[in-house]
Structure formats: structure tokens, C-alpha cells
Structure 1
Amino acid sequence: MSSLNETNTTISNPPEEIERETGDKSYPIWLLVNPKHPAVRHNIWAPVLAEIQEKVYRDLRTRIDTTKLYTRKVVSDSRIIPNTLNWWGTELAKEIELFRGIVVDYQPKILITFGSFPFEFVRRVYEIYPEKGPKFWGTSNLGDEFGKAIENFDITKTNRVPLLRRVVKSGRFIEDHNYYGENYFQYVGKKVAEKIIDNKDSLDIWIK
């Protein structure tokens, strides 16, 4: 948001460059990031992870080793990211096929997405219908899908867990979903941590 107050030169700069992928595909937790919004790793994932680690430590007296955490840009070229339901061209079809092959080969246990486009991309990877335009996945709908992901969590499958791309200070998301005073990071961090703790013996993610 602060970029709106910067000079025109700053606004015209390309988004922060990040590698297409980092980490180890054999690690059971994956992050899928929109290359237009790489800051989610710091603004969303970092505080969520802090809440996860705190809950895990309180319950298990250990922590998650995230050094091999697999992080991937959802597409290699941000220019092909669609903003409507129909604008899913051949380049995106190729990216979907590529990622489908990767998840089939490695079978991650928890696949975390940030915002609308990565979530819809993953739905298409898993051939979930009806297809939606990225604008469909606003705060409320993504929040509902997060709740479903937690409720239906199954460690024998890949669990697709959508997080928001940004959290506004008004707390509207929290108010709409009646989270009893918890902020967004506390709420989702605790929920994900509970599933990790419940399945601790099936996840090779622990600091040794």
C-alpha cells in the first residue's frame, strides 16, 4: 500500500524478484505464492508461522524445522496472471499441467496458498469445479474455504489451505467470522498448528 505514496519511478519498478522455487519438494509443507505479491512471505506467512511455532512448542516442546520448506511462485511470468474467469490462456494451462505433475510426484501434505489466484490455480490443478474467476475469491469466500480445509483435514491426502494475501487493520475478516477476539494470524496459526500436532507422527518436519 505504501507504494501509492512513492514516486512514479518507484511505482514503475517491477515486483521484488524471487526465485521460482526454493526449498525441498520432499518437505511435506509447501507455500504457493503469486509472483506479483512476494511480500506475503513476510506479511502473512511469517506471523502465521510464529503462531504455529508457539502452539507447537507449548504442546510438544519442540519446533518445526522450516529450513527445507518448499516455496514456489505459482507461475514463472506474472504477466500471464488472469484477472477474469475467461482469461486462462495456453501459458496457464501449461503451468497447471506442470504443477499437477509435481504434486503427483511428491504428494505434499499441506499446500498453503495466499490470496485468490494461487487458490484458484490449485483448484484447477486438482480439477475442482465449477471454475471461478480470481475475483470470486474475496476475503469471505477464502475464509470459508480455510474453514472447510481445516474441518476436512486428512493427512493421507494433500490438504489445500488458503490464506489471505493481506489482512486489513479494520479486522473485518475477524468480525465477519466471529473469531472471539483473536486476530487473523492467531486464528489460522492455531488451527493449522492443531492439525500438525494431531498428525505429528506422520510429518517429518521436526527439529532434531
Structure 2
Amino acid sequence: MLIEIDARGLACPKPVINTKKELDKLENGVIRVTVDNTMAKENIIKLSKSSNCESSVLREEEDLIVVEIIKGENVKIEEGTKVDLDNKCIFISSDKMGQGNDELGEVLIKGYIYTLTETKPYPKHIVFVNSGVKLTTVNEATVENLKILENNGVEILSCGTCLDYYNLKELLQVGTVTNMYNIVEMMNNSLQTISI
């Protein structure tokens, strides 16, 4: 069975949501999703991987990208290395910690992220939204410590819409770009979400 989805012109996270709805209905078969930007393509590929499906890019031009997802019994799933992670999500929405003095807030958030590298088990996910994305892009101290966490299996995710808003997408130094659908799914599937 072949399902075709034209998600061109749809704002994030609609391409992923529309694809997920069709993927959930499908037991075995192929879904071809047409999108018009790289972020949508990457998000569709991540969805495929998290759904234990195979994916490939069939066509990629400036405003036309076709991603094929294969779901079925013959799909080969890559076995990753098992890391001892606590199934919790840390949600960071600012490049400062707390309210009051901004300079103090910047010191506190750096200290918090450093302390995460020294405290085990590590969280499974750390999600950055709003000005929090500055911590994965332009803040050298936090980037260095986030790389330590990432190298130990922690998934570091920055909101794509937020990176675009602050013109920081090209400056991402650690982790990957995500969308609101994945953020909501991750928080729902975590045993605990800690907001900073």
C-alpha cells in the first residue's frame, strides 16, 4: 500500500502530525511525504526512526523534497547502545535561570548545566525553547557541557521555530533541531518533566 502526503506550505509541526496520523493507520506499506524545507524533511526522518520504520530521501530540490517511509515486518531496526538514562525530560525555556538579576541568572544556568554533567543518572532528554536555544548555539560554556551530556546518550533538542526567531539555526553547536510535535510527545512519554 502506498500513501502520498503533500505537506508543502504547512507550518511546523503539521507535516509531522499529518505523517504520524497516516503512519498510525498503516500496518504495512509505504508513505511518501512531500515537503518544501529541510527542517520538515529532518523531522519526518526522526519520526520514521522513532516509529521503527525505514526512511530515505527520494528527491531533494530547493522547494521540493520527497521522503519515503517504509513500515512493515521486513524493516531492519538499528540496535543502539543502551545507556543508563533516567526517563525524564528537562525543559529549558530561557538562557537565564530564575527571575531578577539577568547577570546572576546567566551564572545560575551555566552552573545548572555543568552540575547535570556531574549528576547521574542523566536525563533522557533536554529540550530548549524560546531564548533557551541560545544555550545550544552562542553560549560556549553551556555548549561544552551539553556536548558531554550528548556524548553520554542524552538527547539535546532545540526548537526549530525558536532558532529561526533568534536567527540562530546556522549556529547550532550541539544536539539537533526539533518541532513542537516531538516536544509534546517527548514530554508526554517521560516519567517526569522538569521545567527550568
TM-score using structure 1 length:
0.29
| Higher helix proportion (structure 1 or 2) | 1
Q: Select the structure of larger CA radius of gyration.
A: 2
Q: Which has the higher contact order (CA 8 A, sep 6+)?
A: 1
In terms of fraction of residues, the more strand-rich structure is: 2
Instruction: Normalising by structure 2, report the TM-score.
Output: 0.31
